[in-house]
Amino acid sequence: MRKRIYEILDGVREHDRAATVYSVFMMLIILLSLVPLTFKEASPSFIVMDRVAVTVFIIDYILRLATADFKLKRGKDSFLIYPLTPLAIFDLLCILPSLHLLNDSFRLFKLARLYRVLLVFRVFKFMRYSRSVRMIWGVFRAQKKPLFTVSIIALTYVLLSALVVFNVEPDTFDSFFDAIYWAVVSLTTVGYGDIYPVSTLGRIVTMISSVFGVAIIALPAGIITAGFMQELEKRQISGVGKGSEQEPEPEQEPEPEE
């Protein structure tokens, strides 16, 4: 029974109708729990929606904890290790902000801004139930080394550009943080226009840093796209391989000799 629950929760079987229904149900619950965040004022209906959502999340968390040995395969230690895994921590962060709805003693989590900010973590629960999101997350994990290298290069370039323009135009930027903000906005081609250099030398620095910066900032997108295409090709090849398997033809019995 516990193994079947684990299979439904994690969707380990392909074309498992029960797992698909459960995933869709949980995604609907997650969307329902995020509706109150789109309004500034609370209402009784929002409280009911949040109460239903947090109850479902608690049940889901308990079931996953009860079947942790099937997922982690470490025996009894799995029940101690599972709460420390990243997805379990995200699940817990989705539950804690709403505990005061179930019991008034949890008033610590009733801080308005903190409460609403922590509720945003429920978006990460989509990673568990959406196969498309899990595939994208798999691409990030497979390409983590080149992405890390490119991210370091991009961060270094942003800081270098900010440092140069901050010293070229000290009157335009009140702090180094303003220069970093300008560098990020400029190099990503967003260009809000609220902070910009006014001197000739500052504009030259802007042009040079923007030309080279666009190429550097675009590198992560290219790596992710290439990894995503590779993942799609693997899935297509895997699907074709499974579909092309044919049952061997039965051997014909030799005809009796006359």
- If you average pLDDT over each of 135-149, 165-179, 182-196, which comes out highest? 165-179
d(CA 126, CA 27): 6
Give yes or no for a contact between 59 and 69, defined as CB atoms under 8 angstroms apart. Answer: no
d(CA 82, CA 72): 8
Model pLDDT, residue 132: 66
**Taking every pair of C-alpha atoms in the chain, what is the biggest distance, in angstroms?**
109
More confident residue, 142 or 131: 142
Find all residues with CB under 8 Å of 119, minimum gap 6, and list them: 33, 34, 36, 37, 94, 97, 98
**Type and span of the H or E element at 184:** helix 176-187
**Type and span of the H or E element at 163:** helix 144-168
- In order, the DSSP letters of 96-138 are GGGHHHH-TT-GGGG-HHHHHHHHGGGGGGHHHH-HHHHHHHH
d(CA 102, CA 232): 44
Taking the complete model, does pTM exceed 0.75, yes or no?
Answer: no
Q: Provide the sign of the torsion angle of the four alpha carbons 235, 238, 244, 245, taken in this order.
A: negative
**pLDDT tens figures, 146-181:** 888 888 888 888 888 889 988 888 888 888 888 899
Give yes or no for a contact between 34 and 95, defined as CB atoms under 8 angstroms apart. Answer: no
Model pLDDT, residue 255: 53
Domains, the chain, ranges and CATH?
A: 2-129 (1.20.120), 144-243 (1.10.287.70)
Q: Give the CA distances from residue 204 to residues 68, 196, 200, in Å, rounded to whole numbers and listed in that order.
A: 58, 12, 6
d(CA 46, CA 159): 43
Model pLDDT, residue 112: 41
Mean pLDDT, residues 59-65 taken together: 91
Q: Whole-number mean pLDDT of the chain?
A: 77
Q: Which amino acid is at 54?
A: V
Mean pLDDT, residues 214-235 taken together: 77
Question: Is a pLDDT exceeding 90 seen at residue 62?
Answer: yes
Task: Point out the least confidently predicted range of 61-70, 161-170, 232-241.
Answer: 232-241
d(CA 61, CA 66): 9
More confident residue, 14 or 167: 167
Give yes or no for a contact between 187 and 210, defined as CB atoms under 8 angstroms apart. Answer: yes
Task: Point out the least confidently predicted range of 46-60, 105-119, 172-186.
Answer: 105-119
Q: Which amino acid is at 112?
A: A
